[in-house]
A and B are shown apart, each in its own frame.
Chain A
Amino acid sequence: GNSVTQMEGPVTLSEEAFLTINCTYTATGYPSLFWYVQYPGEGLQLLLKATKADDKGSNKGFEATYRKETTSFHLEKGSVQVSDSAVYFCALSGTQGGSEKLVFGKGTKLTVNP
């Protein structure tokens, strides 16, 4: 079945550091890929998505590129802020937009220190 493996946390960075959170997937067909973020005390929010190979999703300075050849969707940000401290989840779904069930990774907790 479909599965997602993401980088174990926690990750601790200083403000303005470069962030990479690795995510690889196993899936049949052509899944859509997502990054969701969970800020402390809040619900899951969609951060960005990509629906086909070589697509780049981006939002709030975060980027991820759908790499079919390496089955990866790594999350990057050039300069993190304290407000980026949260848990980040990589996920996939079986349809182009995401309305079938989502399969999530275990999450990576990011703490950014001033």
Chain B
Amino acid sequence: DTGVSQNPRHKITKRGQNVTFRCDPISEHNRLYWYRQTLGQGPEFLTYFQNEAQLEKSRLLSDRFSAERPKGSFSTLEIQRTEQGDSAMYLCASSHPPGGSTDTQYFGPGTRLTVL
């Protein structure tokens, strides 16, 4: 049983650099979510996909952030021109589609980003 996986687990970058994170969901899940968690806070929703379609984006997702899920399987989250305020844990989750009681979101271990 493979859960949600995320790579890399840790990323340290300098301000102004671009970074990209990858998420591989549970294979039979067609919904994929991105959240951001800063120290001492709960996760905050960024965006989610159903298959390859991006269905919702939070206002937190500035134009420096872009997420893709090109073939409806893995997803990437790119941050351009990183800022120190982007330092956070980036979490990915996946679920079944809506319509039943089994569509709970399952989370990956996260990618911790540190912007120097």
Contacts and interface: CB of A to CB of B under 8 A. Distances in A.
Interface string B102-115: 11111111100000
Interface of B: 4, 31, 33, 35, 40-45, 48, 56, 58, 91, 93, 95-110
Contacts of A4: 42
B105 A99 contact: yes
Given A44-B91, A97-B98, A99-B95, A89 B104 contact: no
Contacts of B106: 46
A101 B31 contact: no
Interface residues of A, number: 26
Interface of A: 4, 34, 36, 42-46, 49, 51, 89, 91, 93, 95-107
27 contacts: A4-B42, A36-B107, A43-B107, A43-B108, A43-B109, A44-B43, A44-B93, A46-B106, A49-B104, A89-B42, A91-B42, A96-B101, A97-B96, A97-B101, A97-B102, A97-B103, A98-B104, A99-B98, A99-B103, A101-B58, A102-B43, A102-B45, A104-B42, A106-B40, A106-B42, A107-B40, A107-B41
A101 B45 contact: yes
Contact of B98 (A45, A100, A107): A100
Contacts of A106: 40-42
Contacts of B45: 101-103
A104 B56 CA distance: 17
A101 B103 CA distance: 12
B98 A43 contact: no
A43 B42 contact: no
A44 B107 contact: yes
A42 B109 contact: yes
A104 B41 CA distance: 9
Contacts of B93: 44, 102
Contacts of B44: 104
